Amino acid sequence: MPDPFGVFDAWLADARRLELNDPNAMALATSTPDGRPSVRIVLLKGADRDGFVFYTNTQSRKGCELAANPRAMLLFHWKTLGRQVRVEGPVEPVRPEEADAYFQSRPRESRLGAWASDQSRPLPDRQELMARLTSLDETYPGDDVPRPPHWSGYRLRPERFEFWRDMPFRLHDRTVYAAHEGRWRVSKLYP
């Protein structure tokens, strides 16, 4: 049976060996309630048959867009390998215990930053952010920094994969896996 997850795992393993920077970096595309596209780079923090996981401030622009339209697309581009993968599907929040576990694995400064930052909102002066960090450092003097209620993760559950490989003369190889009635249909696309 076709297995896009196996293909993805193999390609990600290649990228982890050969890509110089952030082989788990992916473009996350969402849209506003009125359909305006919005894209940014985030880091993949988990991938298995349940989906692709990333974490963020749920009150950020992407968080608000996902609340209004819980569908997204991911794009992995590994230039060194001449490969890219597009993954699309519905998005749902991860379980609170998953978010807690990942949050605690982050460096302390990053955990404090999750509290300090009003992500995606205007920042009048960088000193304001730094003052917040100083205050939070005093509020949480040890390593026990709890996860903010506005910080969590999302899981994209794939309905469609497209694997793209660079080929000579721009005659690229494109393979699509599309979910259909509990199975994956495989097809090719013209370059």
Q: Tell me if residue 94 falls in helix, strand or coil.
A: coil
Q: What is the reported pLDDT for 128?
A: 94
State yes or no: is 170 an active-site residue: yes
Tens of pLDDT, residues 10-50? 999 999 999 989 999 999 999 998 999 999 999 999 999 99
Q: Angle, to 10 degrees, between the axis of helix 96-105 and the axis of helix 108-116? A: 120
Catalytic position from the list 95, 147, 160, 170: 170
> Which H helix or E strand runs over 153?
strand 151-156
Q: What is the reported pLDDT for 1?
A: 65
Q: What is the reported pLDDT for 29?
A: 98
Tens of pLDDT, residues 97-149? 999 999 999 999 999 999 999 999 999 999 999 999 999 999 999 999 999 99
Tens of pLDDT, residues 70-81? 999 999 999 999
Q: What is the reported pLDDT for 2?
A: 79
- Domains of the chain, residue spans: 4-106+149-189
- The CATH number for 4-106+149-189, chosen from 3.40.50.150, 1.10.10.10, 3.20.20.70, 2.30.110.10, is 2.30.110.10
Copy the structure tokens of residue 173. Answer: 């190889």
Q: pTM here?
A: 0.94
